[in-house]
Structure 1
Amino acid sequence: MTDAASYVTSRDNALLKDLRKLAQDSHAYRRQGRIWLEGDHLCRAALQRGQRPSHAVFQSSWFDRVGHQWLDTGGKVVVIDDALFDSISALESPGRMGFVLPLPAAPQLQADAPTVILDGLQDAGNVGTILRSAGAFGFRQVLAMKGTAALWSPKVLRAGMGAHFGLHLLESLEAAQLDALKVPLLATSSHQGEFLHRAMLPWPCAWVLGHEGQGVSAALVDRAAQFVRIVQPGGEESLNVGAAAAICLHASAAAQAR
């Protein structure tokens, strides 16, 4: 981090306006070509993944207390009046600091990679949670179909807690683009297919996780090589998709560890 800091005290500051858009508009990162990480824990997770911000942004009182801890961050230091910093955040409890990072370039689709396919998921918390599970269980590629929550939006980034930076992420895909995959598609279902604990799971594979209410779309059902369901002796009709994803991805990882 550079020694000199820029101080922002005006609501009309151009950077402040851009930060508000990045923090409050889930699609602004596509227009600006950069992303907003909010909160010291998420910023530290990004640094641990080798990321370096173009801007390190601090609430004024927080900078006075802990700014010395971020001397090696890199990028331009911006210190914002406390009340103005609160106006940036879309969180109920503003994070007191944040990073601005360049939006990573979309990678090429990896045809043979263990993959997670997000088919129209809407909830940012679910999407971020699934990204964390994907990284933990060895699924390094995540493909988000058109209509899925924006992967690099602030809420998904916060839920992902740094997992984004260890994954190959592609978004806004059409079903036909999945035909390039050379791994079988496994579709989660609440009413058909083998029970997960009995199923022979291929490796590598691509797990398809459907919309929270509507499930897997017809186009991806037609492309699935196998359907799998999770035994639920408690009698619930279905599981939250984030929980179902963790169970399925863990099952694949455990099968490889045997």
Structure 2
Amino acid sequence: MSRIEPVRVSSRDNPLLKDLRRLARDGAAYRRMGRLWLEGDHLCVAALDRGMQPAAAVFAESFWPTAPQRLAEACPRVYLVPDALMAEASGLESPAPMGFVLPLPPVSEAAPGQPSVVLDRLQDPGNVGSILRSASAFGFRQVVALKGTVALWSPKVLRAGMGAHFALSLVEGASSADVASLGLPLLATSSHQGTWLHRAALPWPCGWMMGHEGQGLDAGLDALAAMHIRIAQPGGEESLNVAAAAAVCLHASAATQLAGQR
């Protein structure tokens, strides 16, 4: 298959480049615009591997001659941009030489009975992206973010998620009532109460609730917990980073599930 003939864009005032700059710099722009800007070949390949269909590809002029065939032929529209303008449309310290414009996936509602991770007002994009990666890796197919949580499809969360977004059903702007409607045993992490994780009989499916980095879980959510879980920390630190705690807990659930299948 021959490559699509690209459309050359040379003005920084081009509507496409204006849109890309908004999407790269404004964490909530995707909600208003209904599309995503995926920067870099790794994230673009991850989207293709998960069956996503980009609407357009944008390549820096210097990268286009050596761009991998799969990326060059993945979209019905291809745009070629001078390297300097490509850098202006980037949210990265080292701008990527290509990216995809992708329609924002349909809004999801919380599905009862699905193994889930609940995020309560988490603020750090790196933490949230890391938790999405752990959720995908350990068999949790739904992430429910309560109001006040950082935007799940924002550029920084997308980069930190490394493609995990496209394997998950993501619910934004949820309420405590939505969490209660999951119909799952809900597990809450705690640094001072509950069953030690390595001794706990973890239910499956379940929902793990992860709270705000400084304030922890909202009291109303905490009251929904069927179990409170502590992670053993023999080294003596006061608490774990929420993304690290999530990885430990979600892996424990995955191990429990696998053990039950033997």
The TM-score with structure 2 as length reference comes to 0.95
In structure 1, the residue matched to 2:98 is 97
In structure 2, the residue matched to 1:48 is 49
- Counterpart AA for 2:165: H
Distance 1:125 1:199 in 2: 28
Deviates more, 1:69-78 or 1:208-217: 69-78
Distance 2:161 2:255 in 1: 22
Q: Gapped runs of 5+ residues in structure 1?
A: none
| Same amino acid, percent of matched pairs | 61
- Counterpart AA for 2:25: Q
Deviations 1:13-70 (A, max 9, x none): 1110001001110000000000111101110111111112111011111113226453
Distance 2:159 2:76 in 1: 21
1:111–1:183 CA contact under 8 A, matched in 2:
yes
Deviations 1:126-184 (A, max 9, x none): 11111111011110010001111111111111111111111111011111222211101
Distance 2:144 2:8 in 1: 40
Q: Gapped runs of 5+ residues in structure 2?
A: none
2:45–2:71 CA contact under 8 A, matched in 1:
no
* Residues 2/76 of structure 1: CA separation in 2 closer, same or farther (3 Å cut): farther
Within a 5 Å distance, the mapping from 1:172-251 to structure 2 comes to 172-251=173-252
Distance 1:195 1:69 in 2: 48
TM superposition shift of 1:236: 0.4
In structure 1, the residue matched to 2:88 is 87
2:142–2:168 CA contact under 8 A, matched in 1:
yes
Distance 1:65 1:27 in 2: 33
TM superposition shift of 1:113: 0.7
Distance 1:67 1:243 in 2: 35
Equivalent position SS for 1:181 = coil
User: What is the alpha-carbon root mean square deviation over aligned residues?
Assistant: 1.3
Distance 1:80 1:69 in 2: 19
Distance 1:211 1:243 in 2: 14
Q: How many residues align?
A: 258
